[in-house]
Amino acid sequence: MSTPQVIWRPNEDFLENSNIARLMKKHGVAGYPELLEWSVADTRRFWRAVMEDMGVSWYRPFDEVLDDSGGFARAKWFVGGETNIVLNCIDRHLPGPRQGNKNRKDQTAIIWEGDGGEVRKFTYGEMAAEVAKLANAMREMGIRPGEAAGIFMPMIPETVFAMFACFKIGAVAIPIFSGFGHEAVAERLNDCGARMVFTSNGGMRRGKEVPVKATLDQALDMETKVEKVVVFPRTDSEVPMKAGRDVTWAEFTKDQSTEAETERLPAEARALILYTSGTTGRPKGTIHTHAGLLATMAKEIGYCMDYREGEVFFWVTDIGWMMGPWEFVGVQFYGGTYFIFDGAPNWPEPDRLWRMIADHRINIFGVAPTAIRVLAAAGEEWAGKHDLSSLRMLGSTGEPWDPESYMWYFEKIGGGRCPIMNISGGTEIAGCLLQPYPVTELTPCSLGGPALGVDTDVFNEDGKSVRNEIGHLVCKQPMPSMTKSFLNDDERYIETYFSRWKDVWYHGDWAKVDENGQWYLFGRSDDTINVAGKRVGPAEVESALIGHPAVVEAATIGTPHPIKGEGLICFAVLAPGFEATDALREELKDEAVKYLGKSLRPEEVKFVEALPKTRSAKIVRGAIKKIYLGEDPGTIDTSSIEVPEFLLAITKAI
Q: What is the DSSP string of 347-372?
A: SSSTTHHHHHHHHTT-SEEEE-HHHH
Angle between helices 182-192 and 213-220 (to 10 degrees): 60
Helix (H) or strand (E) holding 66: strand 64-67
**Amino acid present at 110:** I
pLDDT digits (tens, 9 = 90+) for 236-272: 999 999 999 999 999 999 999 999 999 999 999 999 9
pLDDT for 283: 79
Element housing 166 (H / E): helix 157-169
Can you give the pLDDT at residue 1? 45
Distance between alpha carbon 188 and the CA centroid of its chain, in Å?
A: 19
Secondary structure (3-state) at 268: coil
Farthest CA pair distance, the chain: 73
Please say if the pLDDT value at position 144 is more than 90. Answer: yes
Whole-angstrom distance, CA of residue 509 vs CA of residue 521 = 7
Classify 641 as helix, strand or coil: strand
What crossing angle do the helices spanning 19-26 and 43-54 adopt, rounded to 10°?
120
Give the confidence band of 97 by pLDDT, cuts at 50, 70, 90.
low
Task: Judge: domain 528-652, CATH 3.50.50.60.
Answer: no
How many C-beta atoms lie closer than 10 Å to residue 142's C-beta?
A: 11
CA distance 304 to 466: 25
β-pairing verdict for 364-367 and 393-396: parallel
Determine the angle formed by the axes of helices 323-333 and 290-299, rounding to 10 degrees: 80
In whole angstroms, give the CA distance from residue 58 to residue 56: 7
Percentage of the chain modeled with pLDDT above 90 = 75
Strand partners, 272: 173, 288
Provide the pLDDT for residue 543.
Answer: 82
Q: Over 60: is that where the pLDDT of 476 sits?
A: yes
What is the average per-residue pLDDT within 453-472? 95
Please give the DSSP secondary-structure letter assigned to residue 50: H
Q: Where in the chain is the domain with CATH 3.40.50.980?
A: 122-271
Cα(491)–Cα(320) distance, integer angstroms: 25
49 vs 345: CA distance, rounded Å: 39
In the predicted model, is pLDDT for residue 277 greater than 80?
no
Terminal C-alpha separation, the chain: 36
Q: Is the pLDDT of residue 452 over 50?
A: yes
pLDDT at residue 618 is higher than 80: no
Helix (H) or strand (E) holding 634, with range, is none
Residue (of 342, 343, 307) closest to 327 by Cα position: 307
Structure confidence at residue 337 (pLDDT): 98
What integer pLDDT is reported at residue 535 of this predicted model?
A: 64
213: CB partners within 8 A, 6+ apart: 199, 200, 201, 202, 229, 231, 239, 240
How far from the centroid of its chain's Cα atoms is residue 17's Cα? 27
Say yes or no: domain 122-271 is CATH 3.50.7.10.
no
| Partners of residue 407 on adjacent β-strands | none
pLDDT of residue 297: 98
478 to 197, 353, 436, 483: CA distances (angstroms): 33, 37, 20, 10
In angstroms, the CA 552 to CA 403 distance is 13
Q: Would you give the DSSP letter of residue 308?
A: -
Closest CA to 393 of 304, 512, 486: 304
| Nearest partner of 531 among 498, 564, 557, judged by Cα | 564
What gap in Å lies between CA 254 and CA 261, rounded to an integer? 18
How many CA atoms lie within 13 Å of 584's alpha carbon, on the beta-carbon side?
Answer: 18
What pLDDT is stored for residue 118 in this prediction?
97
Please tell me the distance from the alpha carbon of residue 69 to that of residue 537, in angstroms, as a whole number.
Answer: 37
Residue 589: closest CA among 545, 644, 527, 623:
545
Round the average pLDDT of the chain to a whole number and report it.
Answer: 92
User: What is the CA 67 to chain-centroid distance, rounded?
Assistant: 28
DSSP class of 640: T
d(C-alpha 79, C-alpha 109), whole Å: 31
Summarize pLDDT for 506-536 with one digit per residue, the tens.
998 889 999 888 899 877 777 778 786 666 7
In a 3-state reduction of DSSP, which class is residue 265? strand
User: Range(s) for CATH 3.30.300.30 in the chain?
Assistant: 528-652
| Percentage of the chain modeled with pLDDT above 70 | 96
| Contact yes or no for 234/203 (Cβ under 8 A) | yes
CA distance 499 to 478: 16
What does R_g of the chain's alpha carbons equal in angstroms? 24
pLDDT at 101: 62
* Alpha carbon separation from 561 to 525, 532, 565, 570, 602 (Å, rounded): 20, 9, 5, 14, 12
Q: What is the 3-state secondary structure (H, E, C) of 470-511?
A: CEEEEECCCCCCCCCCECCCHHHHHHHHHCCCCCCEEEEEEE
Q: What is the mean pLDDT of residues 449-454?
A: 97
